[in-house]
């Protein structure tokens, strides 16, 4: 996924349905990392799931959702406290595009 494709996804809000990004070093090679993200238009919040050989993590937001409803994005159940502002989500995804590592500009919580 290129930076321009990422920006188009976020601008068009196609992330509402969620996006899966798989990192294979070369065609046919084992999966090195996976990043899954989604956002909700009505709140301008989104969430990230990241996994690699070292483990799996969800983004951690500042507070759990007040409505208590489950958070289901990109065919994945996210913890209620995993939502972060879309600008922070965008920066994290751009960082991932550049480094292919778990973004550092996000607080993370282990996936259980």
Q: What does the domain layout of the chain look like in residue ranges?
A: 3-110
pLDDT digits (tens, 9 = 90+) for 40-63: 777 788 899 999 999 999 999 987
Write the burial class of residue 110 (CB in 10 Å: 0-12 exposed, 13-18 middle, 19+ buried).
exposed
pLDDT at 97: 83
Question: Within 13 Å of residue 52, how many CA atoms lie on the same side as its CB?
Answer: 12
Three-state DSSP state, 71: strand
pLDDT digits (tens, 9 = 90+) for 76-92: 899 989 999 988 998 99
pLDDT class of 10 with cuts at 50, 70, 90 = low
* Per-residue DSSP letter, 30: P
Lowest pLDDT segment from 4-13, 36-45, 84-93: 4-13
Report the C-alpha gap between 25 and 91 in whole angstroms.
Answer: 23
pLDDT at 14: 47
């Amino acid at each position: 996924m290129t930076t321009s494709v990422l920006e188009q996804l976020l601008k068009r809000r196609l992330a509402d349905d969620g996006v899966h990004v798989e990192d294979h070093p070369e065609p046919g090679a084992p999966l090195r990392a996976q990043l899954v993200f989604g956002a909700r238009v009505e709140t301008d919040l989104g969430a990230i799931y990241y996994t690699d050989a070292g483990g799996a993590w969800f983004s951690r937001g500042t507070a759990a959702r007040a409505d208590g409803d489950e958070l289901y994005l990109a065919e994945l159940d996210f913890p209620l406290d995993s939502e972060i502002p879309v600008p922070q989500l965008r920066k994290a995804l751009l960082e991932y595009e550049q480094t292919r590592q778990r973004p550092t500009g996000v607080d993370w919580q282990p996936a259980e």
